[in-house]
């Protein structure tokens, strides 16, 4: 399932605030605004962002690269159909567009 796994990893990267994707600008604005108003609170928010990043990546890696049950091998599963690929691609384009549009505001 490499295509679905790539889409899943892409969405997780957007969730943790990867630059150029939809989650980066809000996280940056939260850190910048908190640093300007309440600097001591910024460290707690930053720690929460780091914990969220680690939890998202570790859970995704365990999900994608974990063991495969013997009953799943040769079961005739397809990765992504054409309809699912079109839907996931449009969501990926929307995530990129939201991330890039916010950078230029």
At residue 7, does pLDDT exceed 90?
Answer: yes
User: What pTM did the predictor assign?
Assistant: 0.80
> How many domains are contained in the chain?
1
Domain extent at residue 34: 2-103
Q: H helices within 20-81, ranges in order?
A: 24-37, 39-65
End-to-end CA distance of the chain: 37
- Separation between Cα atoms, residue 20 and residue 32, nearest integer Å: 17
pLDDT of residue 72: 66
pLDDT of 14-68, one tens digit each?
988 888 888 888 888 888 888 889 888 888 988 998 999 999 999 998 888 887 7
At residue 5, does pLDDT exceed 70?
Answer: yes
């Amino acid at each position: 399932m490499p295509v679905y796994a790539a889409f899943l990893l892409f969405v997780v990267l957007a969730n943790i605030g990867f630059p150029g994707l939809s989650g980066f600008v809000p996280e940056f604005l939260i850190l910048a605004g908190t640093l300007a108003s309440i600097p001591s609170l910024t460290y707690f928010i930053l720690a929460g962002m780091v914990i969220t990043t680690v939890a998202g990546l570790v859970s995704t890696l365990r999900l994608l690269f974990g063991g495969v049950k013997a009953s799943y091998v040769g079961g005739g599963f397809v990765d992504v159909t054409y309809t699912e690929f079109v839907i996931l691609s449009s969501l990926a384009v929307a995530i990129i567009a939201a991330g890039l549009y916010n950078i230029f505001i």
